[in-house]
Amino acid sequence: MLRIAVIDCTAESRNRITEEINGFLNSALHEASLLPPATVRPFSFQELKFNSAPDICIVGEQTVAREISTISQLRKLLPDTPILVRLDESLDNLGTIEQVLASGADDVISTFAADLEFFKKLAVFSRKIKKAQNGKMILVDSGKGGIGVSSIVAALGEAICENDKKVALVDFDFDTQDLSRFLQVRPFVNENLELLFSGTRPITEEFVEQCVIPVWEEQEGLYCMSPCLEPEDFNDLHSGYIRKVVSLLEILDDMFDVVVIDTGSVRGGMLKTLYRLADQVLFLINSDPATLFASADKIGRYRTLMSPDARLSVLINRSTSTGLPENVLQREFSKAANLQESEWCPIALPHSKLGSRWPGSGQTLFTFGNEGVRRAITAYLEAVEIVDAEPSVDKDRPSPISKVASVLFAGYQKVRPGKKTIYVEQIDKKDRKTTLDGLENRLLLNAQERKELLEELMPDAHQVAPVQKTPEENEQDPDFQELLKRANLS
């Protein structure tokens, strides 16, 4: 939220300027919707001393005419705040402008300037303001539906959460609420959000907090904001919803370390605004040739709207085992969309048969997918500096615990609901789930595997435990107990 302070000699003048600026910000001009949300408050110079520094300070024309030294005092009080000085027709001359700038002002604007001129000044200043919060906003989009946006949004959320960051997933799929339904985040239709959009409640941190729901009760850090019913003119530039969404995202950006947005059914002016706000844009394509034209066309139209500091990354989602080879896809799409090599994600997302089971499970693709899926998601987050890169030392050398796990749980799929670790074994196309609390109940090693594992971890072991021991037998098996102890699993 951009905080604008209005300074002038009299309360009457301050209130008049405040109303005028609010009129600019609430105008129907297209440019008004592109500015960050702002609050405008009048202050005397003395009052400003006892308040926090604003983002922008606007000095009225009466101060210039009567007490121009106030500008120098303001500069000392607010060394890092841009100061914009208003000049009426009698003061709008080169001599006065030089004197005002010499006093410490950053720029001047005429009192009779048009709305557009004011927007230009405000846009320049707002670009220079450093955000106090280091939050990141990731926009995930694609050229067509069904390419995997909701799957990737959920996977990014869990991967970031595992790095001890607080994450908000924003579901803008008003039609089907896929992200919210797949994660089992209730309510699927967000009535609290509807109250904010309708104007029944103000868009404040207190009420925005009521719109986000924890994804998992057992583990904090990952939250989801499900959509409300789509307002009729939600995507219209002049409807007023764009400013409300910008205000909402600004508050989420302050509340969370990372905000990940599922574009869902957003289009038109609203989608353009999201591209302007995003710190990172992750664009998904797949290996189906039928989707490539729409994807290249959309990238060409929307990438020009992105902030100069924002980064575009294109991720290949091989959601099926068929389609164009990866090298052909990357070469041809780079030509069609005019992409640089640096704009491709480091690793393509591989096909994962088990990963397709995540919708409706309450888990994510990061959990259900294979190791290649997790590597691809992590590599992207490291490339855009959302998470820290893992140390490269001994990266390829498996730890003793991973050696044990690779044998103990061969044929199992690891999933993590909350803080528990579950291994899913495929038996006649049915899932049998067990937890770490009953490790011995699912030890299905053959004799040779047990022997190799014991010889590696316990060179002095001579006995090999029999296959498929019962829990009671495992309790009495010293080799088995020593194995668990060495693996830190006992």
CATH fit for domain 136-383, picks 3.40.50.300, 2.60.260.20, 3.40.50.10440, 1.10.287.130: 3.40.50.300
On the question of pLDDT at 489 being above 70, the answer is no
| Integer-rounded Cα radius of gyration of the chain | 29
What are the phi and psi torsion angles at 287 (to 5°)? -90, 5
* 3-class SS letters over the chain: CEEEEEECCCHHHHHHHHHHHHHHHCCCCHHHHHCCCEEEEEECHHHHHCCCCCCEEEECHHHHHHCCHHHHHHHHHCCCCCEEEEECCCCCCHHHHHHHHHCCCCEEEECCCCHHHHHHHHHHHHHHCCCCCCCEEEEEEECCCCCCHHHHHHHHHHHHHCCCCCEEEEECCCCCCHHHHHCCCCCCCCHHHHHHHHCCCCCCHHHHHCCCEECCCCCCCEEEECCCCCCCCCCCCCCCHHHHHHHHHHHHHHHCCEEEEECCCCCHHHHHHHHHHCCEEEEEECCCHHHHHHHHHHHHHHHHHCCCCCEEEEEEECCCCCCCCHHHHHHHHHHHHCCCHHHECCCCECCCCHHHHCCCCCCCHHHHCCHHHHHHHHHHHHHCCCCCCCCCCCCCCCCHHHHHHHHHCCCEEEECCCCCCEEEEEECCEEEEEEHHHHHHHCCCCHHHHHHHHHHHCCCCCCCCCCCCCHHHHHCCHHHHHHHHHCCCC
Quick one: average pLDDT of 126-150? 78
- What confidence score (pLDDT) does residue 188 get? 93
Hey, where are the domains in the chain? 2-128, 136-383, 400-486
Residue 454 has pLDDT above 70, yes or no: no
List pLDDT tens digits, range 82-126. Answer: 999 999 888 888 889 999 999 999 899 888 776 677 777 777 777
Q: Taking 60 as the threshold, does the pLDDT of residue 33 lie above it?
A: no
pLDDT reading at 466 higher than 60: no
67's CB contacts (< 8 A; 6+ apart) are 9
pLDDT surpassing 50 at residue 444 = no
- What's the whole-number mean pLDDT along residues 118-138? 68
Q: In the structure, what pLDDT confidence band is assigned to residue 48 with cuts at 50, 70 and 90?
A: confident
- Model confidence at 450, pLDDT cuts 50, 70, 90, reads low
Instruction: Indicate if 136-383 has the same CATH topology as 2-128.
Output: yes
Cα 87 from Cα 108, distance rounded (Å): 7
CA atoms of 233 and 240, how far apart (whole Å)? 9
Model confidence at 394: pLDDT above 50: no
Does residue 244 register a pLDDT over 80?
A: yes
**Predicted pLDDT at 128:** 62
% of the chain beyond a pLDDT of 90: 40
pTM attached to this predicted model: 0.64
- 349-380: pLDDT as tens digits: 998 887 888 888 778 999 888 889 999 999 99
Q: Quick one: pLDDT band at residue 456, thresholds 50, 70, 90?
A: low
Strands 213-214 and 222-225: antiparallel
Over residues 265-278, mean pLDDT:
90
For residues 215 and 218, give the distance between their C-alpha atoms in angstroms, rounded to a whole number. Answer: 9
Residue 134 has pLDDT above 90, yes or no: no
Q: Other C-beta atoms within 10 Å of 383: how many?
A: 18
Alpha-carbon torsion angle 69, 74, 75, 78, nearest 10: 170
Query: Which one of 3.40.50.300, 3.40.50.2300, 3.40.50.970, 3.40.140.10 gives the CATH number of domain 2-128?
Result: 3.40.50.2300
pLDDT at 391: 57
Short-list 81, 83, 84, 1, CA closest to 36:
1
CB atoms within 10 A of CB 241: 20
| pLDDT for residue 159 is more than 80 | yes
Distance CA 255, CA 205 (A): 8
Whether 483 shows a pLDDT value over 80: the answer reads: no
What pLDDT score does 254 carry? 85
Task: Kindly state the tokens that stand for 430.
Answer: 């049915």
> Is the pLDDT confidence value at 143 over 90?
yes
Q: Which residue has the higher pLDDT, 93 or 429?
A: 93
- Predicted local confidence at residue 262, as pLDDT: 97
Q: Specify which of 133-137, 327-331, 467-471 reaches the highest per-range mean pLDDT.
A: 327-331
What is the reported pLDDT for 67? 87
Q: Are 174 and 339 in contact (CB under 8 A)?
A: no
pLDDT of residue 376: 95
Give the pLDDT confidence score for residue 468 in this predicted structure: 46
pLDDT category at 283 given cuts 50, 70, 90 is very high
Q: How large is the average pLDDT for residues 143-166?
A: 94
Beta bridge partners of 431: 426
Residues 248/203, Cβ–Cβ less than 8 Å: yes
Q: What is the pLDDT of residue 449?
A: 52
The predicted-structure confidence for 232-243, as pLDDT tens digits, reads as follows 889 887 778 888
Q: What is the pLDDT of residue 420?
A: 39
Q: What is the mean pLDDT of residues 166-191?
A: 93
Of 184, 183, 211, 186, nearest in space to 197 by CA = 211
Please write the tens of the pLDDT for every residue from 179-229: 999 999 999 999 999 999 998 998 888 999 999 999 988 788 999 999 999
**Mind listing the pLDDT tens digit for each residue in 289-333?**
888 999 999 999 999 888 877 899 999 998 777 788 888 999 999
| Amino acid occupying residue 133 | Q
* pLDDT at residue 129 is higher than 80: no
Residue type, 482: E
Averaged confidence pLDDT in the chain: 79
